[in-house]
Amino acid sequence: AEVAPGAVHVPGWLDLPAQRRLLDACREWARPPAGLRTVRMPSGGEMSVRTVCLGWHWYPYGYARTVVDGDGAPVKPFPAWLDTLARDAVARAYGTDGGDEAYDIALVNFYAAGAKMGLHRDSDEKSGAPVVSLSLGDSCVFRFGNPRTRTRPWTDVELRSGDLFVFGGPSRLAYHGVPRTFPGTAPAGLGLTGRLNVTLRVSGL
């Protein structure tokens, strides 16, 4: 379903075995060094979501090859199979191929019960390539705003385990956030308490 121009939601894109494989990979990536960390904002506050990055390390607000605000380790490599997955995702959502830029960043966000993400724009990438989002575990309310203001109009969409969302074109710079998750709603067979979101991006760096 096209939620806004360039914002396409594909419910249930990953079947349960594919979700399990991606979850297993996330568990490996979460281990130190350069593992899951709590992001501290320049204001001093901590994000309730915990994060691990591949390819390029995101920190507020930029990208680096080392975990500049954590253990200082080199960021884990971005595996070629994630570029393939991102291109398959763009093809499924848009019915076109993903262009010639290689996907080279993964940001994995873990939401324990009560974690949320405020409305923000993702503007630290130099490329305008679509962002690919994959959800695992608990369902959530995903709030999709507009490219102009942090205020309404916005659309709330429920994201469930296995859902794909692609954000490109005029939606690439739209405000978005996760005001709540629904603890205990992960698929019984997945073996995840909480929610994981994997975003795949092109750095343009």
**Annotated binding residues, as ranges?**
120, 122, 176
Stretch that binds ligand MD3, among 13-21, 31-39, 170-178, 180-188 (CB under 6 A): 170-178
Q: Least separation, in Å, of the C-beta of 17 and ligand MD3?
A: 22
CB-based contact 158:99 (threshold 8 Å):
no
CA distance 48 to 6: 29
Does the footprint of ligand MD3 cover residue 23 (CB under 6 A)?
A: no
Nearest to Fe ion of 69, 122 (CB atom): 122
Query: What residue has token string 């290689």?
Result: 102
Of 22-30, 69-77, 166-174, 185-193, the segment contacting ligand MD3 by CB under 6 A is 166-174
Residue 109 interaction partner, one of Fe ion, ligand MD3, none, beta carbon < 5-8 Å per kind: ligand MD3
3 state SS of 156: strand
158, 141 Cβ separation under 8 angstroms: yes
Please pick, from the candidates 172, 192, 194, 203, the single residue that binds ligand MD3 as defined by CB under 6 A: 172
Which tokens sit at 75? 């960021």
Q: Does 122 bind Fe ion (CB under 5 A)?
A: yes
String marking each residue 64-93 x if it binds ligand MD3 according to CB under 6 A: ------------------------------
What is the Cα–Cα distance from 197 to 132, expressed in whole angstroms?
10
Using the rule CB under 6 A, is 14 a contact of ligand MD3?
Answer: no
Nearest to 205 by CA among 98, 64, 54, 34: 64
Please give the annotated binding residues for Fe cation, written as ranges.
Answer: 120, 122, 176
CB 108 within 8 A of CB 197: yes
